[in-house]
Amino acid sequence: MPPRIQQQTLFTRPMVAVLLCTLNGFAGFYLLLSTVPEYAAQTSGHTAVAGIITGALMASTAELAPAGRRSQGTGWNGVATGLGGTVGTPFGVLLAHRFGYQPLFVAGTVAPLCGLLAALFIVAPRPAPVVRPRVVTGIVRPAILRPFILLTAGAMASGAVVTFLPLAAPREPLWLTPVALLLFQLGITGSRWLAGRLGDRFGNRALLLPATLTTAVGVLGATLTGDSATLLILMLVFGAGFGTLQNATLVLMLQRAGRKGFSVAGAQWNLAFDAGLGLGGFCVGIVVQSTSYSIGFAVVSGLLLMVSCIALRDVRAGGEAEGEEK
């Protein structure tokens, strides 16, 4: 969807209500499906609607937050989105393991209805004049490309862990995988808030390298499914690193795009995030077929270590003023 339309029309009360009801309908249809192509088509529509909501929320948050506190604004945005994952990811796995998938799909159908209450209190910001949207071609700009690559690599690690940890970890004890995913999501949610405060105080560029390295170390926890304590600790570390990376890359892309490009930058960030999630599950799945889950997770960790040089390059790049508004 064009960023101009996204920012100017989506964050109104009627449109949010329509989008949430659409999201609710997509979740309910899972109960009626039986084949892989049907599930693939359904999931594509479901994630498309969720992506539109997330992109509009990002652009509106950037508009509403003062320039000097934009990191904190996106941090609270991350807390809001992270709370859903904190509840849904671990307890979804637990529901599926314990009761099967039908109760899970019913819960996914009911949950979006809670957002209808919040829609009553939405105040849409007045959008800035939007320049010609260049979502894909604008990524090649080095100042945007560096955080784009870092986020894509981090999202690949997240996609790999969320997809394959429930399969790689032992079924007993039953609580191990849900608790590991809960700690991962809690790490993301808490670090988004903390990264917002640190970003406004010290600059988001300084957070890129430690966030990338922490994510690379944390994902190795998925290779240690036989040691419950180490797995849980590293999943928390993994979430903290990835959450910090999310917030730092988002704010940098927004600031470098300038106020007129907030919607474009938000769309680019979502593109990196969603592409990374899909690529992580797909690529690690290919590796796992001929090797093992541990090697698949180790490959993703190695990828993050490789792209850490991009984070270092961004730190050393002194050409772009981090807080510049265009």
Output the pLDDT for position 154.
95
Task: Look up the pTM and report it.
Answer: 0.74
> Which of 13, 120, 24 shows the shortest CA–CA distance to 56?
13
Q: What type of residue is 47? A: T
Q: Is residue 5 predicted with pLDDT exceeding 60? A: no
pLDDT digits (tens, 9 = 90+) for 234-279: 999 999 999 999 999 988 988 888 777 777 888 888 889 889 998 9
Could you tell me the fold of the domain covering 3-125+133-316?
Growth Hormone; Chain: A; (1.20.1250)
DSSP state, residue 125: -
**Residue 164 contacts residue 281 (beta carbons within 8 Å):** yes
Output the pLDDT for position 317.
79
Burial of 114 (0-12, 13-18, 19+ CB in 10 A): exposed
Query: What are the tokens at 300?
Result: 């993703």
| Rounded CA separation 150/94 (Å) | 31
pLDDT digits (tens, 9 = 90+) for 158-198: 999 999 988 888 777 878 888 888 899 899 988 988 888 88
- Domain definitions of the chain by residue range: 3-125+133-316
| Rounded CA separation 93/181 (Å) | 9
Top mean-pLDDT range of 61-70, 96-105, 152-161, 183-192:
152-161
Model confidence at 78, pLDDT cuts 50, 70, 90, reads: low
User: What is the enclosing helix (H) or strand (E) of 304?
Assistant: helix 293-316
Greatest CA separation for the chain:
56
| Rounded CA separation 20/323 (Å) | 34
| Rounded CA separation 56/45 (Å) | 17
| Rounded CA separation 97/91 (Å) | 10
> Which of 162, 173, 155, 139 shows the shortest CA–CA distance to 256?
139
